[in-house]
C-alpha cells in the first residue's frame, strides 16, 4: 500500500506540475511511445533471464503490494518453534526425528503456520538439526556451513532487484530510441506546416520524458523496495542461525533462544517478558521474569 502511495505521489507531482505550468494532457498521452519503451524493456528481460528468474520477478513485484509477513508475531512464533525444537533435540534423537524428517506433517510445525509457510526457513532448520544429529560438527565449522547456505540463498534472491536495476538504467536509452523514431517520422511531415511539425516533435520528445520518468520514478524505487523486502525476509535465517550455533556450543535452550531473540531487528524484537509469556502460552517453560533488554 505504501508503495502505491509513493507511485501516486510521483505521478501527481510530475503531471500536476506540468499542468500548472500550462501544459496540455493530450500531449503527454502517447501510447505508442509507451509501447516502444516498455515493450523493449520487457523483451530485454525475457531475453536475458531464465524462466525461474522471470517467475521470481513477477512474484516479487506482486508481493511488494501485499502486507509484509515479517513482524513481531512472526518472530515470536519462530522463537517459540526454536525453543520447542531445541528442547526436543536435547531430550534425544527419538523425540525430534519425527518432526524434522517430515516437517510438513509435523504437529509441532503446524502449531506455527507463519513459519511452516516459509519453506526455505523450515528446510534450513531441519537440514541443520538432521546434520547435528547424524555427526558431531564443531561450532566454527557449523557457522561456516550456515553462512554458506545463507549466502547462496541471498545471491539467488539478489538477482531479482539487480535485474530491475539494470532495466531501470536502460529505460532512458530506450526513451531516446522512441524519441529518435518520432523525429524520423517528423522528418516526413516537413511539408505539412509548422503546427503539425510542432505536435510531432513534442510527441517524439515524450519518449525521452517517459524513459527517464519510468526509470527514476518507478523502476528504481520498485527494485529498491524489492531489495529491502528480501533483506528483511532474510534476517530470520540469521535469527535461526544464532540459536543453532548456541545449541552447537552446548548452551541450554533458554540461552539459545536469548541468542536468537537478540539477533532480531529492534523494530520487531519482542521483549524478554513477551517471549516468556509466549513460550509459557505454547506449553513450554521459561526462566523467571526479567527486565526486557
Assign 138 a pLDDT band (cuts: 50, 70, 90): very high
Q: Is the pLDDT of residue 70 over 50?
A: yes
pTM of the predicted structure, to 2 decimals: 0.85
Task: Band the pLDDT of 293: cuts 50, 70, 90.
Answer: very low
Give the model confidence (pLDDT) of 198-244 as tens digits.
888 888 899 999 999 999 999 999 999 999 999 999 999 999 999 99
Q: Which of 138-147, 162-171, 274-283 has the lowest mean pLDDT?
A: 274-283
Contacts of 253 (CB under 8 A, 6+ apart): 83, 86, 87, 90
CA angle 229, 162, 78 (to 5 degrees): 25
pLDDT in tens, 38-53: 999 999 999 999 999 9
Q: Note whether 86 and 256 are within 8 A (CB).
A: yes
290 pLDDT more than 50: no
Rounded Cα gap, residues 44 and 277, in angstroms: 52
Report the percent of the chain where pLDDT is more than 70.
96
- Segment 110-129 shows an average pLDDT of 93
Per-residue DSSP letter, 66: S
HEC readout, 7-42: HHHHHHHHHHHHHHCCCCHHHHCCHHHHHHHHHHHH
Task: Give exposure, 25-50, as e/b (b: 16+ Cβ within 10 Å).
Answer: eeebebeebeebbeebbeeebeeebe
**Cα dihedral 245, 250, 254, 255 sign:** negative
The pLDDT assigned to 117 comes to 92
Tell me how far apart the alpha carbons of residues 292 and 93 are, in angstroms, rounded to a whole number: 33
The pLDDT, as a whole number, for residue 283 is 56
Amino acid at each position: 500500500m505504501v508503495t502505491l502511495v509513493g507511485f501516486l505521489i510521483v505521478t501527481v507531482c510530475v503531471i500536476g506540475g506540468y499542468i500548472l505550468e500550462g501544459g496540455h494532457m493530450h500531449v503527454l498521452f502517447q501510447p505508442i511511445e509507451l509501447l516502444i519503451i516498455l515493450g523493449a524493456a520487457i523483451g530485454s528481460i525475457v531475453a536475458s533471464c531464465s524462466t525461474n528468474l522471470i517467475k521470481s520477478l513477477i512474484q516479487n513485484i506482486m508481493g511488494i503490494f501485499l502486507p509484509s509477513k515479517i513482524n513481531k508475531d512472526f518472530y515470536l512464533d519462530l522463537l517459540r518453534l526454536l525453543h520447542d525444537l531445541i528442547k526436543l533435540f536435547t531430550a534425544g534423537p527419538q523425540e525430534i526425528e519425527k518432526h524434522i524428517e517430515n516437517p510438513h506433517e509435523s504437529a509441532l510445525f503446524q502449531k506455527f503456520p507463519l513459519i511452516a509457510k516459509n519453506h526455505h526457513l523450515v528446510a534450513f532448520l531441519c537440514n541443520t538439526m538432521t546434520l547435528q544429529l547424524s555427526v558431531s560438527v564443531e561450532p566454527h565449522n557449523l557457522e561456516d556451513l550456515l553462512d554458506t547456505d545463507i549466502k547462496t540463498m541471498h545471491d539467488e534472491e539478489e538477482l531479482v532487484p539487480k535485474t530491475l536495476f539494470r532495466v531501470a538504467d536502460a529505460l532512458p536509452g530506450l526513451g531516446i530510441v522512441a524519441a529518435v523514431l518520432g523525429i524520423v517520422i517528423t522528418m516526413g511531415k516537413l511539408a505539412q506546416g509548422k503546427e503539425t511539425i510542432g505536435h510531432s516533435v513534442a510527441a517524439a520528445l515524450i519518449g525521452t520524458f517517459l524513459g527517464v520518468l519510468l526509470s527514476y520514478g518507478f523502476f528504481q524505487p520498485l527494485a529498491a523496495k524489492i531489495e529491502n523486502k528480501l533483506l528483511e525476509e532474510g534476517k530470520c535465517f540469521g535469527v535461526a542461525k544464532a540459536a543453532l550455533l548456541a545449541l552447537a556450543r552446548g548452551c541450554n535452550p533458554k540461552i539459545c533462544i536469548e541468542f536468537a531473540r537478540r539477533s532480531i531487528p529492534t523494530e520487531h524484537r519482542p521483549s524478554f517478558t513477551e517471549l516468556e509469556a509466549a513460550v509459557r502460552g505454547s506449553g513450554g517453560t521459561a526462566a523467571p521474569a526479567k527486565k526486557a533488554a
